Structure 1
């Protein structure tokens, strides 16, 4: 695959064999983000666990102090007085059973996060085949199955992100935008890593943080020295 001129220029800034401190890596990732749009800065964290075993799963959520720089659209499944509560909290869409055909038959997916009260999970469960593969299924571990819809919506709007292992035991999450200051990106990154280190399963053996890389949407990966994170 031929790499673009911008990408080639950006790679010249990065020493692929080097492990950078967080502050250095953040400065570099900003410098390498030269696209005409505000690139997303992502962290890619490879863990020394085997996600196929339930006792080695790593999944949770954390509120990034400076948000992700993205406007998040929240759908809440609720009924009774929880409907008004969700609307008052600033949810973009609120509903119940009537939303099922819209999602199932019309392919409506104009939302980024789904929250549900526990009494609505029977209804939401019918959407498992659609929401599951897209990572949109509400989950108690991520705080998206809850009676406290106000807190759930507020946290998401404030920059709460969910992290979970993919099939190759890597977590991919946004930590901000290229337009953020270095301090904001470093703050967000440290907050994320703190949560992931805290979530280390008791069954995990050996080195937990195998590799940590940050990159912008169009830029090269920058390896971070994990010794100083643990």
Structure 2
């Protein structure tokens, strides 16, 4: 028999079964639930009523969160020449070309985002087998393949995140830390959901969004009232 912790029992007791909460109510619930000793992340999970194979345009994109994520994002910039100094000045932790490519080929992926230039794509194409499964392969659609290296890195450092529908028709993202005040969490969540729902053609019909939940790392998902975020 699985033992249920006191924290889980306490957190679960705060929720009404089958109720969908407003974003403000949900954030208040997770902020006031039983806390852990570390600064938990606040996450958004969406379940879509669309099948990946039936979508003509991939449901993916980026969004700049107004208050950032509260997490330090380690940037690896694969570039050459003048772009190297620009990348370092913008705050990239790892900057270079051949040496870093060789290191990644050996299995090194101690970073969160890869940014590169269009000219470098022919050199890093072979890294797809390593970076692809981890969701780290740079892509023009996410703004990680660009000629404006310094601007891209600064945006990432300020809180720009990427989202993408997975094979189970879900979208998941960490949008804040529990230490943020309620207003900051609400504004980040609203910005994220607005970006996903309004910029994806496949989500134009209201019924395509099956459910939305917000949660913290060690807490249950609080279901949100979907109508609050319709186009």
Aligned length: 229
Residue of structure 1 equivalent to 2:60: 59
Residue of structure 1 equivalent to 2:225: 225
Residue of structure 2 equivalent to 1:111: 111
CA deviation after TM superposition for structure 1 residue 216, in Å? 0.5
CA deviation after TM superposition for structure 1 residue 33, in Å? 5.1
* CA distance in 1 between partners of 2:115 and 2:102 (Å): 18
* CA distance in 2 between partners of 1:52 and 1:108 (Å): 32
Residue 184 in 1 paired to residue 184 in 2?
yes
Residue 84 in 1 paired to residue 85 in 2?
yes
Matches within 5 A, 1:85-164: 85-105=86-106, 107-164=107-164
Residue 26 in 1 paired to residue 27 in 2?
yes
The 8 Å contact of residues 176 and 185 in structure 1, kept in 2 or not, is answered as yes
Residue of structure 1 equivalent to 2:193: 193
Aligned-CA RMSD value:
1.5
The 8 Å contact of residues 75 and 113 in structure 1, kept in 2 or not, is answered as yes
Q: Deviations over 1:120-155 (max 9, x none)?
A: 111221111111111111111111110111111001
* CA distance in 2 between partners of 1:185 and 1:144 (Å): 26
CA deviation after TM superposition for structure 1 residue 110, in Å? 1.6
The 8 Å contact of residues 48 and 206 in structure 1, kept in 2 or not, is answered as no
| TM-score, length-scaled by structure 2 | 0.94
* CA distance in 1 between partners of 2:132 and 2:34 (Å): 32
CA deviation after TM superposition for structure 1 residue 206, in Å? 6.0
CA deviation after TM superposition for structure 1 residue 53, in Å? 3.7
**Gapped runs of 5+ residues in structure 1?**
none
Q: Deviations over 1:76-123 (max 9, x none)?
A: 111121111111111111111221221222x32221111010111112
* CA distance in 2 between partners of 1:76 and 1:33 (Å): 40
**Gapped runs of 5+ residues in structure 2?**
none
Q: Which stretch has the larger CA shift, 170-179 or 197-206? A: 197-206
Relative to its length, the structure with more helix (as a share) is: 2
* CA distance in 2 between partners of 1:39 and 1:14 (Å): 19
CA deviation after TM superposition for structure 1 residue 3, in Å? 3.0
SS in 2 for 1:171: strand
